[in-house]
Amino acid sequence: MPLGERGGWERSESRYCGVETDFSDDVPSLLSFNISTGGFDYVLAPLMNPSYRPSLVEGKGSETQVLPVSGSDLVLAPSQWSSHVVGKISSWIDLDSEDEVLRMDSETTLKQEIAWATHLSLQACLLPTPKGTSCANYARCVNQILQGLTTLQLWLRVPLVKSDGDASEGLTDSWELWNSFRLLCEHDSKLSVALDVMRTLPSETSLGRWMGESVRAAIISTDSFLTNARGYPCLSKRHQKLVAGFFDHAAQVVVSGKPVHNLPKASDSNTEGTQRHPLRSYLDYVAYLFQKMEPLPEQERIEVLGYRDFLQAPLQPLMDNLEAQTYETFERDSTKYIQYQRAVAKALVDRVPDEKASELTTVLMVVGAGRGPLVRASLQAAEETNRKLKVYAVEKNPNAVVTLHNLVKLEGWEGIVTIISCDMRFWNASEKADILVSELLGSFGDNELSPECLDGAQRFLKPDGISIPSSYTSFIQPVTATKLYNDVKAHKDLAHFETPYVVKLHSVAKLAPSQSVFTFTHPNFSTKANNQRYKKLHFNLPSDGGSALVHGFAGYFDSVLYKDVHLGIEPTTATPNMFSWFPIFFPLRKPVEVHPGSPLEVHFWRCCGSSKVWYEWSVSSPTPTPMHNTNGRSYWVGL
Cα separation, 111 vs 345, whole angstroms: 70
Cα separation, 226 vs 620, whole angstroms: 47
Cα separation, 457 vs 576, whole angstroms: 30
Cα separation, 429 vs 417, whole angstroms: 14
Nearest CA-CA partner of 539 in 590, 601, 618? 601
Q: How many CB atoms sit inside 10 A of residue 58's CB?
A: 12
How distant is the alpha carbon of residue 465 from its chain centre?
A: 41
Cβ atoms of 480 and 506 within 8 Å: the answer is: no
Cβ atoms of 629 and 498 within 8 Å: the answer is: yes
Catalytic annotation present for 439: yes
**Residue by residue, what is the 3-state secondary structure of 110-165?**
HHHHHHHHHHCCCCEEEECCCCCCCCHHHHHHHHHHHHHCCCCEEEEEEECCECCC
Cα separation, 48 vs 90, whole angstroms: 7
Cα separation, 265 vs 509, whole angstroms: 45
Q: How many CB atoms sit inside 10 A of residue 120's CB?
A: 20
Task: Show the beta-strand stretches assigned E in 40-102.
Answer: 42-46, 85-88
Nearest CA-CA partner of 43 in 11, 76, 17, 69? 17
Tell me, what DSSP letter sits at residue 587?
A: E
Count Cβ atoms within 10 A of the Cβ of residue 121 and give its class: 0-12 exposed, 13-18 middle, 19 or more buried: middle
One of 20, 213, 439, 570 is an active-site residue; which one? 439
What is the torsional sign of CA 254, 487, 491, 604? negative
Cα separation, 136 vs 183, whole angstroms: 10
Alpha-helical (H) ranges within 223-306 are: 237-248, 280-291, 298-306
Cβ atoms of 314 and 448 within 8 Å: the answer is: yes
Residue-wise burial string across 293-329, b where 16 or more C-beta atoms lie within 10 A, e elsewhere: beebeeebeebbeebbbbbeebbebbeeebeeeebee
One of 448, 498, 570, 616 is an active-site residue; which one? 448
Cβ atoms of 616 and 628 within 8 Å: the answer is: yes
- Residue by residue, DSSP assigns 1-29 as --S---TTGGG-GGG-EEEE----S-HHH
Residues with catalytic function: 439, 448
